[in-house]
Structure 1
Amino acid sequence: MVTASSATGAPPLEVIVFPGGFNWPLFVAEAKGFFAQEGIGVNLTPTPDSQYQMVGFIDGKFDIAMTAIDNVIAYAEGQGAAPTEKAPDIVAVMGMDNGFLRLVSVPEVTSIAELKDRQVGVDALTTGYAFALREMLERGGLDPAQFEYVRAGGVLKRFEALMNREFAATLLVSPFEAAAAREGFHVLGNATDALGAYQGVVGAVRRDWIAGNEARLIGYIRACRSALAWLHDPANKEEAIAILQAAVPAMAPAVAAASHAILLDPRLGFFRTPRIDEAGVAKVLELRVKYAEPAKALSDPTKYYDTRFVEAALK
């Protein structure tokens, strides 16, 4: 858990995240004092998987979930992978990236075609990035009957399982693919090239939470905006890498260095501002309509995000 103290004495925002270097803007916001400048404290709690994250978030244990927009849509529509005590009334309020999704395979598999009759790892079978993976495999020529999903947990767990060869491939989130490549594993493709626009991680909140916390929410988004701007400044590269290594001490120095090029790539890297990619949300919705079971007609992407708070933060 990473904790940033509050300058106002208000309780810190409880934010649940998947562990990994893709939390770099949050690490920077804490290390450079951007959260403190907004008068807010932030506790970052890592989640083992999407089910733990979404249940804890929806039931009120956490204020903000940094999660895939697909999770927001799935639980909002009653298609979540786990039951919750409270009715999910949740909405995305900011966007961070396009998912950084990389299809990575064991060394002996060098193409999507070679995944035929093999197992691929996912967090949950019907939420998160499972449908992006299915689309990538089908576009690569595989019929759904030719591969098998294996539930393997969040990205850190999937990375560890892939390294142990518990399945043949999985979607990893950058910079995990850089660590895998150092061990001879193969990057077979990335979701952006395969799918086009795609919204990855968003900041999501409960609608009933917003009323008493709007100022803190806008401050959180503003701090993330400041962190993204700071990260994109080439003059800050070495300090940024040092912040990443301090926050993720298990990361090899070479992977931390490579992360700068990967996560700040002009086309595939972090957004420059924490806006929602509306076309990317539409793509996620399209995949959920195509693959989710039971089938459900979902036609309005704007139902799942609210841009008012980003707009206020960017003024």
Structure 2
Amino acid sequence: MTSHTLRVMWFVPPAIAVAASWRACAGLSVETSRTQSSDEQFAALLDGSVDAVVTSMDNVFHWNHRPGPKDFVIVAQVENTTPLSIVASPTIKSIGDLSGAKILVDAPENGFVIALRAMLNQAGLNLPDYTLAPVGGVKERFVSLLKGDGDATLLGPPYDALAVKEGMRKVAEVQASYPQFPGQGLVVRKSSLFSNPGIQMWLKNLSESIALFPANLERLRNSLSSEGLPEAAINAMVKSVPASLTPDERGVNLLIEHRRLLGLIGSDATYDQVVYLG
């Protein structure tokens, strides 16, 4: 049997990928690596050192406007939503208090930060009412916030719960403002879909793993608990298991609307242009 290798890069393993790892996929070897930023993911897809990334689906809108192949597509949504919170130093009690704040981000023009900027816009705050300081992915932002390198950042499980445990304050939740906010997607270069059968093989494995729920929820909880994650993070990750890998059209359109609101490139894209279901 021909063996295929799929190299996947992510910030934190999504719950459905943890479940998929329990099942052997004949003829497929999945190699995973952790990233420190979405820019690193972009570069890795560009130079071919990885085949796919789990990342904010918003990244595709910006990546397709950067110098490069402009063939980035979303082939799956691996979380029904990514729980995200604005977490800040204890002195900040509301979004309005972020006027003049230094906000730690992955990248200022793509990714989850766009939802944060939309929330600030709704509160009457726009650049330069605050500054955006790129420091890296979720772990890097968590560490920088605790060190006092900035006033606030956007965090998801497990780092939001860990930050609160360390004395930081949860100021607002993205899902409270945008209930249809979508979770992370699996992003590839369109050309890779035709050159690497491992992508479709892994998607099939992920889809079949979804069918195992809710019977295996306790096993998933135990697996995440063995990694030392706090209960709040485990609850959020378990709830993130999607009912389907098909990217939610309402969620993708919400991302486009946020870009339109902020006057960012990529706001002219459509669902059919950025989502490829084969």
TM-score, with structure 1 as normaliser: 0.80
d(CA) in 1 for partners of 2:267, 2:258 = 12
Q: Which string of whole-angstrom CA distances, capped at 9 and with x for unpartnered residues, describes residues 121-162 of structure 1? A: 110111112211111122234343321111111111011111
Question: Could you say if the C-alpha distance between residues 138 and 170 of structure 1 is closer, same or farther in structure 2, counting changes exceeding 3 Å?
Answer: same
What residue number does 1:23 align with? 14
Question: Could you say if the C-alpha distance between residues 227 and 168 of structure 1 is closer, same or farther in structure 2, counting changes exceeding 3 Å?
Answer: farther
d(CA) in 1 for partners of 2:116, 2:4 = 39
Q: Does 1:276 find its partner at 2:244?
A: no
The number of residues matched between the two structures is 277
Q: Does 1:233 find its partner at 2:233?
A: no
> 2:158–2:234: 8 Å Cα contact kept in structure 1?
no
Question: Could you say if the C-alpha distance between residues 55 and 189 of structure 1 is closer, same or farther in structure 2, counting changes exceeding 3 Å?
Answer: same
Question: Could you say if the C-alpha distance between residues 272 and 260 of structure 1 is closer, same or farther in structure 2, counting changes exceeding 3 Å?
Answer: farther
d(CA) in 2 for partners of 1:181, 1:166 = 17
Question: Could you say if the C-alpha distance between residues 128 and 297 of structure 1 is closer, same or farther in structure 2, counting changes exceeding 3 Å?
Answer: closer
Letter in 2 for 1:224: L
What residue number does 2:159 align with? 176
What residue number does 2:95 align with? 112
Q: Percent of counterpart pairs with the same letter? A: 24
| Alignment RMSD | 2.2
Tell me the CA shift for residue 207 of structure 1.
Answer: 1.4
Matches within 5 A, 1:1-315: 8=1, 10-18=3-11, 20=12, 23-30=14-21, 32-33=22-23, 36-78=24-66, 86-97=68-79, 98-214=81-197, 216-230=198-212, 232-233=213-214, 236-237=217-218, 239-246=219-226, 249=227, 251-252=228-229, 255=230, 257-265=231-239, 269-293=240-264, 295=265, 298-308=268-278
Task: State the 4+ residue runs in structure 1 displaced beyond 3 angstroms.
Answer: 226-230
Letter in 2 for 1:213: N
Tell me the CA shift for residue 172 of structure 1.
Answer: 0.7
d(CA) in 1 for partners of 2:193, 2:211 = 26
Greater RCO (Cα-Cα under 8 Å, separation 6 or more): 2
Which runs of 5 or more residues in structure 1 are unaligned?
1-7, 309-315
TM-score, with structure 2 as normaliser: 0.90
